[in-house]
Amino acid sequence: MTTHNSALLARIITVFLALSMIFSTQIFCMAQETVGDNAVIYVSPDGNDENGDGSASSPFATIKKAFSVIKGDVGATVVLMGDVESENPEAWNKAYDFIDGHSELITITGKDPDTGKLYENAKLRYDTPGFEGPVKVEHLTLVPKRDYAFIDTHGYPFTVGDGVSHENHIFCIHDGINPVSKITNVEKTASVIESGDINVIYIGGAYAEKTTNGVKDDCKLTVNGGNIGTVTVGFDSYSASHTTATIAGDVIITLNGGSVRNLISSKLNDGAIGGAFVLILNNSTPSPSLDLPRAEKGTYILNVGVGGSISVTDEPGVFSFKCIKKNACFVNGEKVEGSTFKVEPGTHFVTFKRERTEDGALAYINGFPDNTFRPDEKLTRAQAAQIAVKAADKDGFESFDFVSKFSDVKKSDWYYPAIAYLEENEILPKEWQNEFLPNNEITRGEYLYILDGMLVKYNDSIKLVSFSDVTEESTPYYSAIMSAFAAGCVVGYEDGTFRPENALTRAEAVTFVNRYLERRPNENMSSDFSDMKGHWADGEVLAASTDKSENKWTVGKDENTASFVMPESADSAKDYITALYDQAGNLSGKAIREGSAEIAERMKADILNSPNTLELYGDRVTGTAYHISESGDDVNGNGSEEKPFRSIAGLKAKISLKKGDAVLFERGGIYRCTFSVSAGVVYGAYGKGNKPIIMQSKKNYASPELWKETEWENVWVCTELLKNVGIIGFDHDLQDYSENSYNELYGVIMNKNLFGFKDASQLCGDLQFYSELYGGTDKYGELYVYSKNGNPGERFKSIEIGEKIDIVTGSARDVVIDNISFKFTGAHGMGGAGGAVNRTVTNCIYSWLGGSVLSLNFEGGRPVNYGNAVEIYGGCNGYYVENNWMYQIYDTAVTHQRNSSLGDCMQENIRYSGNLMEYVYWGIEFYNRKPSASQLGGKEDTYTRITRNVTSEYNLLRLGGYGWGSITRHRTCKLYCGYLLSENYDCYTRYNIFDRAYGDLMYIEKESNELDDKNIYIQHIGQPLGKLKKDEIVTCDYDAALCIAKDLGDKNAVVVLIDPEKDPIVRNIPEGLIAPDALG
């Protein structure tokens, strides 16, 4: 070979080798371009995009690199091994530039799916990512570029899995469209929330630019955990150019756990969705506050108890259900068969419970062949199984063809049928696996778990305590123990323990069962067992080992028959409530509730019969006492008792009030007026009879000439223009303070742009009314009333109308308001008192007031109504509200409040004591909110906002959410509420009774430093206990006492639960009230 040829050959070989390297490199690179099915890709702060391969040992450095190798039609799991791309605030959304969509799920997680290792510093940084396929995030911290940034799902399924946090940032979701991303329409949405604190979710999506934008099919949201501030059905909006849009299908929201504070609608075409609206509240999950859209195919709200769950089907109004522990399903109290049920639009209650189908008449335990019972011998698991099945009267269970899976249980064993039966019905403890260990001693906790699944308890009013050794964390049998104790089936030990891990004796075992079955041994009878004579459980063994036909026992609950005894010396709310609290330890739940009702009557009587004002405040009246009487004379009167004025306007026309003066209204009179208070003046009552009544209602409007028929059938218009009417009372007996005064006839408010209502032509239910506002809440306009029986002025003897005008105003200091009954204003009984010093309100009655529109554009464009009995808005120093009766108030009984704004606000030296508050939305409400970021305009918040030295004591708050103000707004209440708090300290809530709320019994945010002690809490099972200084809403259940002690801090609480099946929730719904979605 010549040198030339050799050189040529070498050159060819070199080129070949180079091409081979290039080719092989391309092959290698192509191998990295995508990954296979179910890939797990790792990203680490220490990773390398160029040299890494995405494995745990050789991770990538960026999320975009991970996305670039994902095969979109199979999905992948991206594991963040720490704070990746810490300098890139758009790491997540920028990653979408490197993937061309994905039809399968991408999971981004801080937990290794192979090893289970949690990367505690895993963070996902983003700035409004827009999805291109289904996504799940879990076990990581979401960090937006700004204080907040939305996540745009673009209609793809999105799951917020376990372990998601967001530090101090605001977490928001647009679940649907986003025209900014050119996503103007999506087929459907489906999100699942399992953890995290989410500020708002828009079901529908972001800002619409055309009314044709929106969702073509159904929207679904499932909440299994976490906390959501507001779920908005509809679309976001921040500009006048943003339009309404459409949701053409159903909206289905299922709450299996967690909490949702508010559920509202926004920016929907015609305020409606095209399909049905469905809200399912499984597991007794509390309902959010509701302000729902109209639904063309009806609204379904299903309150579902524990022991099962329900879900939607493809057929409107038809729901499937699944029971656990072989419970039966009951819908609105009626048992349903099969696996589905159908209901009409409306609110429905679904419960799951085991039925007691037999009489429980047979003996369920035998002794031993030697005629002994051996009462102190420990009970075995096998014996326990046999007792539970026999006690349930499952006669013939031996013939059931059930199979046990326990390896140490044979068909030839005498206890085999019982164990197989319990297995089949999912009643044995889940901790018992593989081996049954039939001869092992059973513990008290294990035994109760079996009995609780097998036998039926009868609950009515239940008094709860907490055991020091029984918590959700300490025992898996917590719920069974607490529910059994609540039903009176078991007791604890004197040292406050239950000892769930202790072995159980045979005597204890039959005692427990007898309490479930309500078997009571007859007196002076003994069992025939040779070893039972003189034993403490002789009677219990007798009842367990004999048939009912032998007449040795009877059926009936061994109730604690002690009743509340009002001390003869008691003469104040303080005496009444402390007496009930002190006696509660020896009273049943029923007796405590009866005591609460008795106290309410005593408080009413005390307030109604309080002495005249000069007897109480004579030492403060150092000037002149001026008198006002219905028979007085404004022209010739001088204000003396002999020559009184007729009105406060007449008094003020002649007299300049001074510090030390008094203005006294004669009892029995009705005064139609409003007034502003003067510094140092006492306002009160004199004479005999009922308290003087002061009403803003200008006249009795029951005159035919005051009403004119309109073009719409049954709709009448008042001939006088009125200012923002909030309340109308028809034929109220103004001087009646009996039980009847709770249930007077009232008008049903209809607000423009709420629940699909637009104008008077849509009035359709008896006594609905609409007050025309002409775009402003302080404008006068027409009042329309729907009257099915003709002219309202002829139909009724009296019509009282309350407008948006406070009765008492002014922030003057050192003012006393005493012994007056305030009624019929659409605004506040006392308002406009911000900055007041030493304001005192005592012995007054506030009723049937509020309801006017406060704002036409509240929280996203909806109108909101208001109206409190006694309010200070702003700061105060010395605010004393004592011994008053407030009922049927649209909004709040008593409050000190200040919303976000610039300036200081000090709320201090406040005392609410001895007040009876009933049928209100809020009983006591307080807040002192910091300025918002937009108000500060980028400046530092240097303002002082403090609430201090506040005491709420000896008050009785009852039946919150049962009044007209809650019913007509279609929302649940917050009976005692402190939220949006700034700095607060030296605040005390003690010796109060919180007696039932259709909504949150308590709503105290975690920023609250108030000390709660020795209060009595009464609530229906399944209703919210509320916020107990935590983010989530707590449902009222058998752990209520523990939650109140642990979270709220009231370790000396008395807690009474009410079984809604035995004592149902009853609210008096007016004839004219229609469902929120009823208008077409």
What is the rounded average pLDDT of the residues 844-867? 90
- Of 523-537, 556-570, 777-791, 817-831, the one with minimum mean pLDDT is 556-570
For residues 246 and 215, is the Cβ–Cβ distance under 8 A? yes
1071 is written with which tokens?
């004839």
CA distances from 563 to 21, 591, 629 (A): 95, 5, 45
For residues 170 and 142, is the Cβ–Cβ distance under 8 A? no
Q: Where are the domains of the chain?
A: 27-302, 576-609+834-855+867-931+945-1070, 704-800
pLDDT confidence bin for 392, thresholds 50/70/90:
confident
Give the residue ranges of DSSP H helices in 281-427: 381-391, 416-424
pLDDT confidence bin for 325, thresholds 50/70/90:
low
Global pTM reads 0.75
At 614 the pLDDT is 98
962 is written with which tokens?
């049962």
Strand order across the beta sheet in which 140-144 lies: 123-126, 140-144, 164-165
Residue with tokens 């063994």: 541
pLDDT confidence bin for 8, thresholds 50/70/90:
very low
AA identity, residue 838: N
Q: How many angstroms from the chain centroid is the CA of residue 283?
A: 13
For residues 301 and 970, is the Cβ–Cβ distance under 8 A? no
Residue 507, number of CB atoms within 10 A of its CB: 22
- Report whether pLDDT(147) > 90: no
Burial of 881 (0-12, 13-18, 19+ CB in 10 A): buried
Convert the pLDDT of each residue in 961-1004 to its tens digit. Answer: 999 999 999 888 999 999 889 999 999 999 999 999 999 999 99
At 285 the pLDDT is 83
At 560 the pLDDT is 55
- Report whether pLDDT(10) > 90: no
**SS3 category, 363:** coil
pLDDT confidence bin for 458, thresholds 50/70/90:
low
Residue with tokens 């006694």: 870
Burial of 631 (0-12, 13-18, 19+ CB in 10 A): exposed
At 324 the pLDDT is 77
CA pair distance 485, 137, nearest whole angstrom? 41
Strand order across the beta sheet in which 993-997 lies: 461-464, 1054-1058, 1016-1020, 993-997, 956-960, 916-918, 885-889, 845-849, 821-823, 693-695, 670-672
pLDDT confidence bin for 562, thresholds 50/70/90:
confident
- Report whether pLDDT(99) > 60: yes
R_g of the chain computed on alpha carbons: 35
| Residues in contact with 869: Cβ distance below 8 Å, sequence separation at least 6, in sequence order | 822, 828, 829, 830, 846, 849, 884, 886, 889, 892, 893, 894, 920
**Short-list 845, 793, 838, CA closest to 824:** 845
- Report whether pLDDT(557) > 80: no
Percent of the chain with pLDDT over 70: 93
At 578 the pLDDT is 98
**Short-list 842, 958, 881, CA closest to 601:** 958
At 1038 the pLDDT is 79
**SS3 category, 619:** helix
- Report whether pLDDT(359) > 70: no
- Of 110-114, 218-222, 824-828, 1058-1062, the one with minimum mean pLDDT is 1058-1062
Convert the pLDDT of each residue in 503-537 to its tens digit. Answer: 999 999 999 999 988 899 998 899 999 999 999 99
Convert the pLDDT of each residue in 671-715 to its tens digit. Answer: 999 999 999 999 999 999 999 999 999 999 999 999 999 999 999
pLDDT confidence bin for 355, thresholds 50/70/90:
low
Q: How many angstroms from the chain centroid is the CA of residue 391?
A: 38
For residues 616 and 843, is the Cβ–Cβ distance under 8 A? yes
- Report whether pLDDT(18) > 50: no
**Short-list 423, 472, 470, 479, CA closest to 449:** 479
What is the rounded average pLDDT of the residues 99-109? 94
At 575 the pLDDT is 98
At 24 the pLDDT is 41
Beta strand 905-913 with 876-882 is parallel
State the chain's mean pLDDT as an integer.
91
At 29 the pLDDT is 36
CA pair distance 232, 230, nearest whole angstrom? 6
- Report whether pLDDT(928) > 50: yes
Helix pair angle (381-391, 506-517), 10° resolution = 20
- What's phi and psi for 661, nearest 5 deg? -80, 165
At 514 the pLDDT is 92
Convert the pLDDT of each residue in 403-438 to its tens digit. Answer: 999 999 999 999 999 999 999 888 899 899 899 999
- Strand segments (E) across 597-710: 625-628, 662-666, 670-672, 675-676, 682-686, 693-695, 707-709
Residue 292, number of CB atoms within 10 A of its CB: 23
- Report whether pLDDT(235) > 90: yes
What is the rounded average pLDDT of the residues 59-79? 93
CA pair distance 320, 1037, nearest whole angstrom? 25
CA pair distance 474, 1046, nearest whole angstrom? 14
**SS3 category, 492:** coil
At 738 the pLDDT is 95
- Report whether pLDDT(558) > 80: no
